[in-house]
Structure 1
Amino acid sequence: MPENIIAPVTTATQDVRADPPGEDGTGRRPPRPGLALAVILICQLMVVLDATVVSIALPGIQRSLHFSAAGLSWVPNIYLLTFGGLLLLGGRAGDILGRRRLLTAGIALFTLASLLGGLATTPTMLLVARAAQGVGAAVAAPSTLALIVSNYPDAGQRARAIGLYSSMSAGGGAVGMILGGVLTSAFSWRSVMFINIPFGLAVVLLAPRLIREPERHPSRFDLPGAVTATLGSASLVYGFIRAATAGWGAASTLGCFAAAVLLLGAFVVIESRTARPLLPLHLLTRRASGGGYLAMLMLAAGMFGMFFFVTQYLQNVLGYSALQTGAAFLPLVLLLFAGARIVPRLVPRTGARPFLYGAPVLLAAGLLLLSRVGADTGFAPGILVPMVLFGLGAGCTMVPLSLTILGGVRPEESGAAAGTLQSMQQMGGALGTALLLTVFASATRHSGGRSPHALFAHGVADAMGVAALFVAVALLLIVAVIRPSGRPRPDAAGPVAAGAPAAVSGSGGSGSR
């Protein structure tokens, strides 16, 4: 759910307020604003869509390259880890080296990695390509919204551009589920990698000609922080995956957890002593942002896992083709997209509380219904009804939560706060998938006389029950720790409304407002 069906938050907003629009020395919009916007939106669509487009192809990838069940989870997870772990560093690099330059370089790497992934003949080759895709996405994605702001000085044009960007962010990941089904069914799983190549080449060739480069902001790279955060997160995820195969008491499992504790501890120490940290630690001590980050982590843990397991359930148990699986997600896609468009308009009038209290309940209800699936469960209503509830809940949760987390952040820290939010989404997705994989492995370790299909369905059902628990914990954090605001005061409606577009991209990109 990938990045995102949860509309991604990017560090693109870093220093947006410090950069007057068009501050490239001209203060003018690009020579062909429509084409320039198209190039930026294609870049955003590529990195968002790639988090989900491979989900439909997972069974085909497993059959073709002979992945184990645990190894298969690394196909989406290694992308999430490298993308989320390096996202903050990518945002800082864009300020220092130039956002257009970083966008072009990141998409070039992403495109090359997509080619190598499509040509992969071994699991290792595919995983290396997926990791490289994540690095490219982390380099490119933080610059997208900042380039919109700097290239469109007119407020009306900028608002329309941000609206399109927000829709792309919110709906792109969901569209990946359908596109993945079409491509995999018509061609093979390799086509979900190759589809990036023509679009990536278009961005690399056209971006330098159409997009103006904003002013750079010299600073220092926090490389130690980026390295320890990424390696620590990877060790933690790998520890859970090893637990699913080798057991919780295995030396390799315990070693991974020990390394994670040391590396993440080192990250905290480094950030506390760095003048320009990737993650200002005081953001974690504020009630709204600290509790909100944990809630986002738990929500992502449940939501990403749902896509990973339900995709395989539809194909392995119900016998759906890749195309049928993609079509099965269409109701969920439409509800997610509708929520991302409608909710930002309602929050200024109602406040965030009705959505943040009600929507997670719908989300958890959908997952609880999925925890009752079996080998003989039909799509309607057994899968369709949970998907509708899931789509309604997800579409109405992410934007209000992003608004609440980012609402009290100082302007100079908006980029770090928004980037941290997206990192929590990616890390939550990776950790959630790994944790649910251990639940699935435990549930399917002993057949108990069940058929293979019944055993697989039993594992998915148990995993979805734990995913619902993750969402319940997120709701508890929202109610007990965050305590979101209710209906805004009349004198506050203006600022809130003004912040809504940024928050849409904030759930999709910004949050700097």
Structure 2
Amino acid sequence: MHAPDQAAAEAAAAPDPRRWRTLALLGVAQLMLIVDVTVVAIALPDMGADLGLDRAGLTWVASSYALVFGGLMLLGGKTADILGPRRVVLAGLTVFVAASLLAGLATTGAAMLLLARALQGVGAAAMSPAALSVIARTFTGAELSRALGVWSALGGAGAAVGVLLGGVLTSGPGWPWVFYVNVPVGAVLLIGLIRSVRPLPGSGGRLDVPGAALVTLATGAVVYGLVAAGDHGWLSADTLVAVVVGLVGYVLFAVRIRAAAAPLVDPALLRRRPVLRGLGLIFVATALMISVFFLGSFVLQQLHGFTALETGLSFLPVAVGTILGSSLAGRVLPRWGVRTVSVAGLLVAAAGLAAAAGIFSMTVLVLATSVAGFGIGAAFVAAAGSLFSAVQPQEAGVGSGALSTFHEFGAATGVSAVSSVAAAALLDPGFAAFAPGYWFAAAVALVAGLASLAPLRGTR
């Protein structure tokens, strides 16, 4: 079936009666992938003590997952378009669960743990964009906006859940259980998805291997450079070399997709303004969300004396705020449009972050960042809604991969940027030293909100 015929057939098909159950299963699976970032961060001190890892080793345990996850997502999305997203979701989840088991068993050496973390990234990079592709091809119209709201809510809450879960498991049965917990959860999800996700045809064709290699190398290099910026500074050799390598890789990738008969990404997709707006919004929203958790963890633990578990509990209101913002945005997006939702969300986020910066109070910090989470959750939905308003069903996988890639870029950039701005606070903790980090995040949200006021053809 040709692409236009396939798109028309999917649009005309009767709604899948299992679509909401499918969304719930895919949403929990995505939550598991996001949780795996912060749940491991809480367990790093115990891992280092048991495995004899130095600071560099611990950094690789934390960052290897993000590097592989971010580097391979565009490839995972394109594979979902070619083979059909159902196959790729199931394969990716299987790899992730098996790698989680391997990581939990890696109690005697760092090499096995690092290998397992990389394999987790491979599974996640296949599953995440393919899962979003399933949602984009299963729901239409106002239902798609609501589904994207649910998806964004679970993804946005994942960081807070990870902090809490990491504290509970590390202080209880021990750090291997931050990985073991994925095994029974993943097995149940796998069984449910096999029964619930309907077959969705792929477009067929061949994968552009040189293009895939170039974009994977470029993305991995840029993510590594952004992570290195947080550790070594923006002008360090590690940062500059990695970013330059990544940018050169992207230039070569741009040349490749214009020359290839069947490119990994259609160049026309990257010229569509709603797609560019969606990528920009997801980048900013993720950077802001990660900044909230990064700065909040230090403020609550170093200034207010909270334990890791107490810090995780304190972030639950932020997770609730994100869920409420995403859910509301999913409902009003069809009526208000992308521009109104994104502007409102980013301005609310800016107000919350400014309050956190200006008032030294634990209560105000939790309430203000919860308000910011509400606005950021709305921006997540606006990002996905903007992108998928200009993406055809046969492009949903690679579009999802691009969205997820910019999500990783935003996460790495957010940590690097606020850690640089608040560098003095990390050495000599004090509210006056942490406040610039929150002011910086508030300014970014304000500028992005004002920029979103610009009208855009194809959205409201």
Same fold (TM over 0.5): yes
Going from structure 1 to structure 2, the CA distance change for 1:439 and 1:386 (only over 3 Å counts) comes to same
- Verify: 1:360 aligned to 2:346, yes or no: yes
Q: Deviations over 1:9-64 (max 9, x none)?
A: xxxx99973664899xxx997xxx76x97577434412333323542552441353
Q: 1:474 aligns with which of 443, 448, 454?
A: 448
Going from structure 1 to structure 2, the CA distance change for 1:242 and 1:353 (only over 3 Å counts) comes to closer
- Verify: 1:393 aligned to 2:367, yes or no: no
Going from structure 1 to structure 2, the CA distance change for 1:466 and 1:82 (only over 3 Å counts) comes to farther
Going from structure 1 to structure 2, the CA distance change for 1:287 and 1:16 (only over 3 Å counts) comes to same
- Verify: 1:221 aligned to 2:194, yes or no: no
Range moving further from structure 2, 231-240 or 120-129: 120-129
Q: 1:443 aligns with which of 424, 428, 433?
A: 424
Counterpart of 2:292? Answer: 306
Q: 1:174 aligns with which of 138, 154, 157?
A: 157
- The answer as to whether partners of 2:218 and 2:245 remain within 8 angstroms in 1 is yes
Q: CA deviation at 1:361?
A: 1.5
Structure 2: distance between partners of 1:233 and 1:299: 19
Counterpart of 1:379? Answer: 362
Structure 1: distance between partners of 2:362 and 2:118: 34
Structure 2: distance between partners of 1:356 and 1:165: 14
Taking structure 1 as the reference length, the TM-score comes to 0.74
- The answer as to whether partners of 2:97 and 2:182 remain within 8 angstroms in 1 is yes
Structure 1: distance between partners of 2:4 and 2:407: 18
Structure 2: distance between partners of 1:149 and 1:51: 20
Going from structure 1 to structure 2, the CA distance change for 1:210 and 1:251 (only over 3 Å counts) comes to closer
Going from structure 1 to structure 2, the CA distance change for 1:474 and 1:59 (only over 3 Å counts) comes to same
Q: Deviations over 1:140-182 (max 9, x none)?
A: 23343555688x8xx99x9989956852552254155236414
- The answer as to whether partners of 1:279 and 1:420 remain within 8 angstroms in 2 is no
Q: Deviations over 1:74-126 (max 9, x none)?
A: 65654344333322322332343343332222111101221233344566654
- The answer as to whether partners of 1:21 and 1:149 remain within 8 angstroms in 2 is no
- Verify: 1:115 aligned to 2:115, yes or no: no
Structure 2: distance between partners of 1:402 and 1:79: 23
Identify, as 1 or 2, the structure richer in helix. Answer: 2
Counterpart of 1:83? Answer: 69
Going from structure 1 to structure 2, the CA distance change for 1:136 and 1:17 (only over 3 Å counts) comes to same
**Runs (5+) with no aligned partner, structure 1:** 1-12, 487-513
- Verify: 1:17 aligned to 2:7, yes or no: yes
Structure 1: distance between partners of 2:417 and 2:4: 32
Structure 2: distance between partners of 1:338 and 1:395: 8
SS in structure 2 opposite 1:17?
Answer: helix
Q: CA deviation at 1:211?
A: 4.8
Counterpart of 2:439? Answer: 465
Structure 2: distance between partners of 1:14 and 1:307: 43
Counterpart of 1:340? Answer: 326
Counterpart of 1:283? Answer: 269
What are the within-5 Å matches in structure 2 for residues 25-174 of structure 1? 38=21, 41-55=24-38, 58-65=41-48, 77-121=63-107, 125-144=112-131, 166-174=149-157
Going from structure 1 to structure 2, the CA distance change for 1:401 and 1:216 (only over 3 Å counts) comes to closer
Q: CA deviation at 1:479?
A: 2.6
Counterpart of 1:497? Answer: none
Structure 1: distance between partners of 2:134 and 2:383: 25
- Verify: 1:264 aligned to 2:264, yes or no: no
Q: 1:419 aligns with which of 401, 410, 413?
A: 401
Q: Which residue identity does 1:139 align to in structure 2?
A: A
Structure 1: distance between partners of 2:355 and 2:64: 29
SS in structure 1 opposite 2:380?
Answer: helix
- Verify: 1:274 aligned to 2:260, yes or no: yes
Structure 2: distance between partners of 1:210 and 1:89: 25
SS in structure 1 opposite 2:452?
Answer: helix
Range moving further from structure 2, 404-413 or 135-144: 404-413
Counterpart of 1:489? Answer: none
Structure 1: distance between partners of 2:273 and 2:208: 26
Q: Deviations over 1:183-225 (max 9, x none)?
A: 5325244333221100222344565566553334321113333
Q: Deviations over 1:280-327 (max 9, x none)?
A: 333343444324423432332222232233234323442323332222
Counterpart of 1:328? Answer: 314
Q: CA deviation at 1:246?
A: 4.3
Going from structure 1 to structure 2, the CA distance change for 1:139 and 1:18 (only over 3 Å counts) comes to farther
Q: Which residue identity does 2:127 align to in structure 1?
A: A
**Runs (5+) with no aligned partner, structure 2:** none
Structure 2: distance between partners of 1:18 and 1:83: 32
Taking structure 2 as the reference length, the TM-score comes to 0.81
- The answer as to whether partners of 2:321 and 2:371 remain within 8 angstroms in 1 is no
Structure 1: distance between partners of 2:235 and 2:193: 51
- The answer as to whether partners of 1:292 and 1:404 remain within 8 angstroms in 2 is yes
- The answer as to whether partners of 2:157 and 2:319 remain within 8 angstroms in 1 is yes
- The answer as to whether partners of 2:208 and 2:264 remain within 8 angstroms in 1 is yes
- The answer as to whether partners of 1:351 and 1:485 remain within 8 angstroms in 2 is yes
Going from structure 1 to structure 2, the CA distance change for 1:213 and 1:310 (only over 3 Å counts) comes to same
Going from structure 1 to structure 2, the CA distance change for 1:302 and 1:71 (only over 3 Å counts) comes to farther
Counterpart of 1:490? Answer: none
How many residues matched? 451
**Two-structure CA RMSD over aligned residues (Å):** 4.0
Structure 1: distance between partners of 2:229 and 2:377: 33
Q: Deviations over 1:232-272 (max 9, x none)?
A: 22222333443454455544443223312221211221222
- The answer as to whether partners of 1:280 and 1:416 remain within 8 angstroms in 2 is no
Q: Which residue identity does 1:472 align to in structure 2?
A: L
Q: Which residue identity does 1:285 align to in structure 2?
A: R
Q: Which has the higher contact order (CA 8 A, sep 6+)?
A: 1
Going from structure 1 to structure 2, the CA distance change for 1:484 and 1:400 (only over 3 Å counts) comes to farther
